[in-house]
Structure 1
């Protein structure tokens, strides 16, 4: 009798668990964005809270559409069943531009709109830093995949997605405060918003390092070199062959 029976096979995590969780995080921001588009489209009553959007609707419309496409299609890019197929490459051609639109319009809103009641210069500064950082991450990821570096491409797109998903996680950081304490003041609101982005970026780094540790992408590709012709046989070699 074999004293060392084979180990049971490792249980694989469901491939759609991560994409489903990411999509769930986007539901509240998408609902809020859809409501904002309806208000702008139907000419809802202008209030102190939404006046800035009616005065300059282009950046908020671009941000809602760009962010929705980026977050929904981006979540599907994490599905293993789609990552190795042609769909992943085709969807990426939509995800990357949508992410750039989201980042650019987010920066536009940060510098052009009046600050809401519970926001302040500190939160505006965070947004001014993160929006270009998100765009830069997408550009780095694009350049990496152009040279065939899948590992670097995946890492930087994950970081860009973490920044873009900030609104989803911020629901989880702000709502408990509202329920337990009440409406946050400027300092608390800024801290809770920053915490949402910090959580996302921390999780992104854990995911990136785990992929490297398990060798998800295999060994790094070496740069292609120009092929050299085989050496010409010398006279001595010819003599041996004759």
Structure 2
């Protein structure tokens, strides 16, 4: 199951980042999105290009942070990837995402949703960095999982959008909801994962104590 999960992690993260680079690097800006969003993109080209390509960096590098072989055999490479992920992908992607959220299509609900995503992405990134600087490896890993769950909002967004279209939900109705749906459940799953692993560790300690 772990191998299958990592396969899908790599496949979706690299697939969406590749799509973003292809769509925005080889086609006119905004040509593959809703017409109203195209107007916003054209009016804020620096912001959207920075966000797209910084986020693509974060998506591309995120699976490698969870590759145990790389982390254990080449820790320096792991650190270099982590610094690039946080310093380029999350920092630039989050700040540009926060800027673009002000101009997001979908009214106040969408604007606040995407702003919340950007702020949480930046906050969890800072917490992950500070934790490893203090030498708190376990806390660092927890914050990285939270952060990557938010990075994967780019993936879930591109799952929900076509799904809503297939379901016949008008774009104007679906998009503000997806602005929240693309990241809040991801973060909830990350927290549930910590709770489950914490309970398992507690049971293991109790069993060892009885033995």
Q: TM-score, normalised by structure 1?
A: 0.70
Aligned to 2:65: 77
Separation in structure 2 between the aligned mates of residue 58 and residue 157 of structure 1, nearest angstrom: 28
Task: Give the helix-richer structure, 1 or 2.
Answer: 2
Separation in structure 1 between the aligned mates of residue 198 and residue 60 of structure 2, nearest angstrom: 25
What RMSD over aligned residues (CA atoms) do the two structures have, in Å? 2.7
Separation in structure 2 between the aligned mates of residue 157 and residue 137 of structure 1, nearest angstrom: 7
Separation in structure 2 between the aligned mates of residue 209 and residue 150 of structure 1, nearest angstrom: 17
Question: Whose radius of gyration is greater, 1 or 2?
Answer: 1
Query: Offset of 1:129 from its aligned partner?
Result: 1.9
Aligned to 1:181: 168
**2:177 aligned to which of 188, 191, 203:** 191
> Following superposition, which runs of at least 4 residues in structure 1 exceed 6 angstroms of deviation?
none
Query: Offset of 1:183 from its aligned partner?
Result: 3.2
Distance 1:184 1:58, change over 3 A: closer
Structure 1 unaligned regions, length at least 5: 1-11, 220-242
**1:170 aligned to which of 139, 157, 161:** 157
Farther-moved stretch of structure 1 (169-178 vs 123-132): 169-178
Q: TM-score, normalised by structure 2?
A: 0.79
Aligned to 1:18: 5
Structure 2 unaligned regions, length at least 5: 206-211
**2:93 aligned to which of 65, 85, 102:** 102
Contact map agreement 1:59 1:105 (CA 8 A) in 2:
yes
Aligned to 2:115: 128
Aligned residue pairs, count: 195
Distance 1:29 1:175, change over 3 A: farther
